[in-house]
Amino acid sequence: MGLDYEYKDNDIILRQPDLDLEQTLDCGQAFRWEKTDENTYTGAFLNRRLTVSSEGDSLFRFRNTKPKEFEEVWADYFDLHTDYGEVKKRFSQDEILSKACAYAPGIRILRQDPWEALSSFIISQNNNIPRIKGIIGRLCEHYGGYPDLEDMAQETEESLGYLRAGFRAKYLVDAVQKIKGGSISLDLVAKMDIEDARRTLRTIKGVGPKVAECALLFGFYRTEAFPIDVWVKRVMAAWYPNGLPDCTKGMEGIAQQYLFHYIRTSGIEV
DNA sequence: TTCCAGGCGTATC
DNA sequence: GATACGCATGGA
């Protein structure tokens, strides 16, 4: 799908109707985007920082980036080659999903880094989003950016104490040990069929069904992965006792994000 | 004070 | 395979 953008004053000006910065960057899929100004968010993918602003009428300003970097990094990260208009049209065959899509039509799945997504969702377990952001914020402040596996290789449960991550610290250490030690390759996980990928990730201590699904969806862009947390559990019990509708086939994870955001923030009762 | 949060490991049946 | 319970931390 072609992108509609121009390069102007060192910024990329993008026209994209199916994007809302708050809905996408602050809906619990990524934890280190910060609202730094009116309609403006600052964050990063790997070691590249970005400030992006919404300028109304489906226009966005990606600040201080060039067409090459925009095309090679940010277009992919924001999943701009996927037509979310078509996705929402399909989902809208279902009544509940139709409402969820209408409630937050600017949600997109971010194509995050595998290690960052895996470790972030290890931290997320039995935790709340503000506190998850706090822990990840302290981690990134310590390293001047999100630590890669080389950085993490020197850490122990004790050395990570400043994170105040509680029982999750030892899970991070186990993940690093298994990946650095060679018993798990994230590159191979990316190529595995979904069941093998699930099994492999779940050999890490602290990675169960939910964390594995989140890592696969947000870190490996496996849109068929379907994380079930306490919120989505309520969605399924109340509205989909017989499972998801057929219109979500292959995109269950994307549907999940609309539903998660809808039930968590809209104030509706179930 | 008690409950809860983008769950999971362990014990027990 | 299902179910019960503990777990670090901090905000509501």
- Tell me the pLDDT tens digit for each residue of A171-183: 999 999 999 999 9
Q: Report if CB A164 to strand C is under 7 Å.
A: yes
Q: Report if CB A166 to strand C is under 7 Å.
A: yes
Q: Of A3-7, A49-53, A254-258, A265-269, give the lowest mean pLDDT range.
A: A265-269
Is pLDDT of A24 > 70?
yes
For A208 and B9, how far is CA from C1' in angstroms? Answer: 10
Share of chain A above pLDDT 90, in %: 97
Local confidence band at A62 (pLDDT 50, 70, 90 cut-offs): very high
For A156 and B8, how far is CA from C1' in angstroms? Answer: 20
Tokens at A269, concatenated: 């009762």
Residue A103's CB: how many other CB atoms inside 10 A?
17
Q: Name all protein residues with C-beta less than 7 A from any atom of nucleic acid chain B.
A: A 27-29, 121, 124-129, 131-132, 167, 202, 204-212, 214, 227-232, 256-257, 260, 264
Q: How far apart are CA A77 and CA A70, in angstroms?
A: 10
Share of chain A above pLDDT 70, in %: 100
Is pLDDT of A2 > 90?
no
Domain boundaries, chain A: 4-81, 114-220
pLDDT of residue A1: 60
Q: How far apart are CA A270 and CA A258, in angstroms?
A: 16
Local confidence band at A57 (pLDDT 50, 70, 90 cut-offs): confident
Mean pLDDT of all residues belonging to chain A: 97
Contacts of A205 (CB under 8 A, 6+ apart): A170, A171, A174, A175
Is pLDDT of A225 > 80?
yes
pLDDT of residue A167: 98
Element (H, E) at A42: strand A40-45
Tokens at A223, concatenated: 């849109």
**pLDDT tens digits for range A184-218:** 999 999 999 999 999 999 999 999 999 999 999 99
* C-alpha to C-alpha distances, A254 to A148, A223, A231, nearest whole angstrom: 27, 6, 15
Question: What's the residue count for chain A?
Answer: 270
Give the nucleotide at minimum CA-to-C1' distance from A166.
C8
pLDDT of residue A183: 96
Q: Are A120 and A34 in contact (CB under 8 A)?
A: no
Give the nucleotide at minimum CA-to-C1' distance from A169.
C8
Global pTM value: 0.97
Is pLDDT of A269 > 90?
no
Q: How far apart are CA A27 and CA A21, in angstroms?
A: 10
Is pLDDT of A143 > 70?
yes
Q: How far apart are CA A130 and CA A195, in angstroms?
A: 31
Give the nucleotide at minimum CA-to-C1' distance from A260.
B6
Q: Are A181 and A153 in contact (CB under 8 A)?
A: no
Q: Report if CB A167 to strand C is under 7 Å.
A: yes
Q: A76 phi and psi, to 5 degrees?
A: -70, -45
Residue nearest to nucleotide C12 (CA to C1'): A128
pLDDT of residue A267: 87
What number does CATH give the domain A114-220? Answer: 1.10.340.30
Q: Report if CB A138 to strand C is under 7 Å.
A: no
Architecture of domain A4-81: 2-Layer Sandwich (3.30)
CB-proximal positions of chain C, under 7 Å: 7-11
* C-alpha to C-alpha distances, A115 to A135, A243, A251, nearest whole angstrom: 16, 30, 22
Is pLDDT of A268 > 90?
no
What is the side-by-side order of every strand in the sheet holding A34-37? A4-8, A11-15, A59-62, A48-54, A40-45, A34-37
pLDDT of residue A91: 98
Hunting for tokens 């779940």 — which residue is that?
Answer: A202
Q: What angle do CA A38, A144, A27 make, to 5 degrees?
A: 40
Local confidence band at A148 (pLDDT 50, 70, 90 cut-offs): very high
**pLDDT tens digits for range A78-90:** 999 999 999 999 9
